[in-house]
Structure 1
Amino acid sequence: MAELTSNERKALCKLDIETWENKAQLYVGDKTISHLLELVYIERMRALPSGTERFKITREGRTAIHEPVLAKPKKKPGLKTLAPRLTTLPPRLK
C-alpha cells in the first residue's frame, strides 16, 4: 500500500464519515484527488446535472486510513543532556 500524505489522509477521513461528498467539501486539490483515484481509494459519482463532482471512499481506502502512520526517521540526533552547572556551597563556618 502506498504511503498517504496528510492531505490525502484528511480527505479519506472526511469521506469515511459521509456517504458521497462534494469535491469542494474535501478541501484538497485536483492533484490529490487524481492520486486517490489512481490508487482506487475513492470513486467518482457519475456527472450530476448541476456539474458538481462527488466522491465516495472505497473498501481499499477504508483499510488505508485505518493503517498506522509510519514514523519518519529523525533527521538530526537528539540534544544531549548537560550536566548541572550549579555547585553546592561549602557549609558556613560557625
Structure 2
Amino acid sequence: MNDENDLNVAHVLVLPDRDAAEEAAEELARRYELGAEPEIVREALAGEDDAEDAQWLIVLSEEAGEFSAGELDEFVSEWDGWHETP
C-alpha cells in the first residue's frame, strides 16, 4: 500500500575521485540491475578551487530499489568511499 506521505529517501555514496565514482556507478547499476546508472555529482570542498580537492557523490533514490545502509557501506568501501546517512 502506497501512502502519499511516504518519503523518497536518497542514499549518498561519497567517493574520493571522479574515476572511482564512475566505476562505482557502473558497478552499482550492473550489480543491482538498476537499468540506468545513478547520478554522479561533484562537490567541491569549502574554499577549494582545484578539481583534485573535490568529493564525488553518487545519489541513489529509493525508487531504484531497497538498499540497507550496511550493504551500501560495504559496496562503496571497495572504492575507498563511504555511505552518508540521509
With a CA cutoff of 8 Å and minimum separation of 6, indicate the structure with the bigger relative contact order: 2
Tell me if both proteins adopt one fold, taking TM over 0.5 as the criterion.
no
Looking at CA atoms only, which structure, 1 or 2, has the larger radius of gyration?
1
Whose strand fraction is larger, Structure 1's or Structure 2's?
2
TM-score, structure 1 normalization = 0.28
